[in-house]
Amino acid sequence: MWSAGVPRGVTTSNMQASFDIWPYRHLIAHKAWADFRADSQRNYLGVAWWLLDPIINTFIYYLVFGVFMRRGEPDFVPYLVTGIIGWFWFFQGVVGGSGAIYSSVNLLRQVAINRAVFPLSRVITATYKFGFSLIVLFGALLIYGYHPTVWWLLLPVIMVVEFMLIAAVSLLLASVVPFVPDLSSFIPYALRLGFFLSCVMYKLEWLSPRSQFYLKLNPMVHVLNSYRNVLMYEQAPHWGVLAGLAAAAVVVGAAGMGLIIRLSGLYAKRIMQ
């Protein structure tokens, strides 16, 4: 029961108006796992879909760009798999997290709880799915001759930065979607555009200097290339860029939390209108 997961010492009066999400960590993890199991049980193949999804997407984009357009290079498949898996973690986390408060109207009316629990739990759910996708990523790297090196130890650092970005964007969007429901329909289209602007299936070096300048404004370009640096090219990521992205995520996440706290009492009323 949700009421059983409410942290001790957290009263109804301050439950919805606190930046401290730590007391809810067990509740977030429990809800994330429950959502993950529910998502996997909606089809016959279950969690196998989290393995098949990156394989199918890689095959499609390889067929288009690597075969038909002949833009592939010897390392194109592992390059593509790395980009697809890293991007779809961001996509699933943001889409799920941004609509989490809006889709939880029944719980909002029944339980007094920090509203940030809902988007954060969906981000964790996407992270579980990302964990399964890593099996495909590591398999593809090994098949194409990329064996573990000391550089792979830096992978968790990049993952933490991406997780911070997903959580930050999700919190900010989740805070406003209940008041502008059409955003929930627009967000997947915006992310689809972002997919093609994140160097998932092409290299930044293939583009003109002017195009490179604009694409470098996209945080996911740096995240995905950081994955490739440590997994494929045995290079350190750009630490300054990653630090800047982490700092930006803190600012955006704090803004999202602030809006959720400020608007917490209005969500149930607004959604039910």
Contacts of 23 (CB under 8 A, 6+ apart): 7, 9, 10
The string of pLDDT tens digits covering residues 211-243 is 999 999 999 999 999 999 999 999 999 999 999
13 pLDDT higher than 90: no
Higher pLDDT, 4 or 206: 206
The answer on pLDDT for 14 being more than 60 is: no
Following CA atoms 80, 83, 88, 94 in sequence, which dihedral angle do they give, to the nearest 10 degrees?
Answer: -160
CB proximity list for 51: less than 8 A, separation 6 or greater: 132, 133, 135, 136
- pLDDT tens, residue by residue, 34-49: 999 998 888 788 888 8
Q: Residue ranges of the alpha helices (H) in 45-110?
A: 48-61, 76-98, 105-110
Q: With 80 as the cut, is the pLDDT of residue 146 above it?
A: yes
**pLDDT tens-digit map of 191-206:** 999 999 999 999 999 8
Q: Model-level pTM? A: 0.90
Higher pLDDT, 121 or 109: 121
Which residue type does 192 have?
A: R
pLDDT tens digits, residue range 66-93? 777 666 678 899 999 999 999 999 999 9
What are the boundaries of each domain within the chain? 23-34+42-272
Q: How confident is the model at residue 16 (pLDDT cuts 50, 70, 90)?
A: very low
Nearest alpha-carbon partner for 60 in 43, 91, 81, 74: 81
218 CB neighbour count, 10 Å cutoff = 14
Burial class (CB in 10 A: 0-12, 13-18, 19+), 108: buried
Strands, E, within the chain: which ranges?
Answer: none
